[in-house]
Every structure is written in structure tokens, then in C-alpha cells.
Amino acid sequence: MFFVIVQQGEHHLFLLFLEICLEISQTTEIDYYPICVVSFSESHAQLNVCGAAPLNTRIVGGKDGPAGSWPWQVSLQRFGSHVCGGSLINREWVMSAAHCFSSTSTSGWQVSLGRQNLQGNNPNEVSRTVARIIFHPNYDRNTNNNDIALLRLSSPVTFTAYIRPVCLAASDSVFNSGTNSWITGWGALKEGVSLPFPKTLQEVEVPVLGNRQCNCLNGVGTITDNMICAGVLAGGRDSCQGDSGGPMVNQQGSVWVQSGIVSFGFGCARPNLPGIYSRVSRYQSWINSLISSDKPGFVQVTSRGLDADSSYTCPGLPAAPTTSPTTRPSTLFLILFIFSYRICVSKICSRCHQGRHFHIRCVRT
């Protein structure tokens, strides 16, 4: 006899007894004990397509991004003028920064997708008006805490090589100091210097800077757990005016996962003043509560090793926890049972999943 422990995201645990598998276990010789990890997904449509940039061969201090390199990047325009960036997270929702909007009025707002240049010809561009703008309920315009907004498009878009959704960092994701990240946008080249014609999308690589060090550099108390920082201490590479709301992404295997939303900073690319971003992984529950179907694809990102930021200190900064928090895959269904590898793959995959989409891997114990 065996049981299955199931956990779905943040929902309660419950047990399933699979009759078919009980029958198999009674008639099959077991030569070792495998652990099977089966990942089910309500948002499997997005997990199958999110984060893929088929035309990607990989801002301030950056360079032109080749067309289609960042297919989730959007331009948010009001009455025809670029205001902020954003990212496509499924066929009809875009994520951006709340500070880009003075109110939730949709008047004059338009979203341009598949766009490479702000000026001139864009053969792969598709545009939609905005049906709804939603701020995070705890957004604080004074501190920029919870600086995140969701925009519902007037109608769904069709995915192409130039228009695709980005994956989002799951709630249990960890980004250690030094993690390589990419930011994209049509913002200023440097403080007071706009992009020249045709205003081509810029890309730049920057490392994550731990929240403790970022707090010390920007003033203790400025950086909350809902924020993530990135930049080089020497300066020269950063997001700037016009990049706000755009994505900071990290490559996880073959897919790109959005870890941050361009939020604020003190100047642009100044030494010892990294850019500050809304931490996407903090908003998985909120996003899922608003998008009832075709949910975005959330992916767990885990940094290996000890985070150097955990030992960083400065006057006024509270001491770091003595133990690092443990992480667990909240988006996985964990199934522990006694079976052979052959049964785990051939029987569970073909007979026990009841038609639901999942990924499975087995390892010997």
C-alpha cells in the first residue's frame, strides 16, 4: 500500500490513493525505490511557450537589441507617445510599474507589441488599446513599495516569433548577489540624453545586488523585501527614464524568467547607486488572483551556494538571520511512492494522470 502527497501552489495538502497503481505494485517485482517528481500546471499553455526567444542570439551602457530578441517587451504609449515599458505575460495581460500611471483611467493608453523601434517602420508590430489598469492594492507612491500594475488588453494577441510571453519568477525563487540579469527598454542613454532616431530597443546585462548592500547604498529602509536591485558599483550600466515598467530577466536553462520590473533609482548608472526593481516573485498570488484563465507561467529560479549579501552590514542595518531560509518548490506536485523506474514512467504517464498535462522525472534512491 502507498499514498500520494499532493501540494498545489499555496493550497492545502491532501492525499490521493491511485487504485491503478496499487494494482501495479501488487503484481510487479520492485528492485529499487524511486522518487518521482511530477509537476502539474494549471497554466500549462503559458509554461509551454513563455520565456522562449527564438530570435535571441542574448538602456544605459547597453546596445541595440536585435529584432525579436525580447519578444515580451512592450511599449506603453499615451496619445501616441512612449511613456513606459512593460512585459507580455499571456495573450491578453501585460505587467508594468504602477508609477507609470497617474490613475487607473485607460483613456489614451495603447500597448505596442513586437516593436523594435519607437520611430520608423515596425513590420512585426501589433497594437492594442487598454481595457483595464489594476494597481497593487498596497502600492505606495511615496516609497515605490509594491510598484506593480497589470493591464488587460482590449483583445488577445496571437503569438509570433516577435510576440511571446515571458515566464515569471515563482514565489520561492532566490536570486543571489551577482546573478546575471538583462534589462531592456527605450529609455534615455544617460541622464538627459534621449535615444537617437530610430530609437531602437536597448539591452544591457547587469548583476543582481543583494538587498542588504543595496539598502546600505541607498539609505537603510529604502529597499523592502518587495524590491530587488541590480547594477555595477562602478556605474555605467543601468536603466533610465523611459525604461520604467520594463522587464529585468534572467536565463533559466533555455527560458527567460522575469525577476524584476524597472521601478526607480537615484539618477542613472551612477557609481554605487544600482537600479531598483519590483521583485516579481513576491506577486505570484496577487497575479493569479486577477487572471482566472490562461494563467502566466511561473518558474522557480534558485541560486546555488551561499549569498555573499547575507554577511553584508552597515550602520543601522538589522543583523542578518543566522540561518538561511529554506526553499521548496511550491509549484510542484510531490508524489512519493514505492515503484520501479519502468512503472513510474510507463504506467503513471499513460494511466494515472487522467489526461492532465505534467512533467515527470524519476531518480533512484
- Helix, strand counts (H, E) of the chain: 5, 20
Closest to 337 measured CA to CA, from 358, 360, 354, 310:
360
Which amino acid belongs to residue 183?
I
Q: What is the pLDDT of residue 63?
A: 60
Domain-embedded: residue 257: yes
Asked if residue 116 belongs to a domain, the reply is: yes
In a domain, 317, yes or no: no
Q: Say which of 244, 263, 278, 340 is annotated catalytic.
A: 244
Query: Which entry of 99, 112, 259, 263 is annotated as an active-site residue?
Result: 99
Under a CB-based contact definition with an 8 Å cutoff, are residues 308 and 208 in contact?
no
The three cell numbers of residue 12 are: 492545502
Q: What per-residue confidence (pLDDT) applies to 57?
A: 63
Positive/negative CA dihedral, 339, 340, 345, 346: negative
What are the grid coordinates assigned to 220, written together?
A: 537603510
Q: Is the pTM of this model over 0.85?
A: no
Q: Which of the following is catalytic: 96, 147, 307, 340?
A: 147
What pLDDT is recorded for position 308?
A: 86
Residue 316 covered by a domain: no
Give the count of domains, the chain. 2
CA distance 218 to 333: 40
Predicted local confidence at residue 362, as pLDDT = 40
Active site (annotated) includes residue 243 = no
- CATH code where residue 194 lies: 2.40.10.10
Which positions of the chain have pLDDT values less than 50?
1-44, 59-60, 324-365
Per-residue pLDDT at 193: 65
Examine the domain organization and report whether 31 and 52 are in the same domain.
no
pLDDT score, position 253? 86
Q: Which helix (H) or strand (E) holds 88?
A: strand 81-88
The verdict on 295 and 240 lying in the same domain is yes
Largest CA distance in the chain: 74
Q: Is residue 187 part of a domain?
A: yes
Residue environment code for 31-63, b if the CB has 16+ CB neighbours within 10 A, otherwise e? eeebbbebbbbbbbbbbebbbbbeebeebbbbe
Please indicate, yes or no, whether residues 69 and 37 belong to a single structural domain of this protein: no
For residue 244, being part of any structural domain is answered with: yes
Confirm whether 244 is a catalytic residue.
yes
114 and 218 in a single domain? The answer is yes
Residues 139 and 262 in one domain: yes
CA distance 69 to 58: 7
d(CA 349, CA 21): 11
Task: Please name the amino acid found at residue 284.
Answer: Q
What pLDDT was estimated at residue 365?
36
Q: Are residues 32 and 51 in the same domain?
A: no
Give the per-residue pLDDT at 228.
Answer: 97
| Closest residue by Cα to residue 351 from 32, 18, 44, 16 | 18
- Catalytic residue check, 294: no
31: containing domain: 4-41+331-364
Q: Domain check: are 60 and 27 in the same one?
A: no
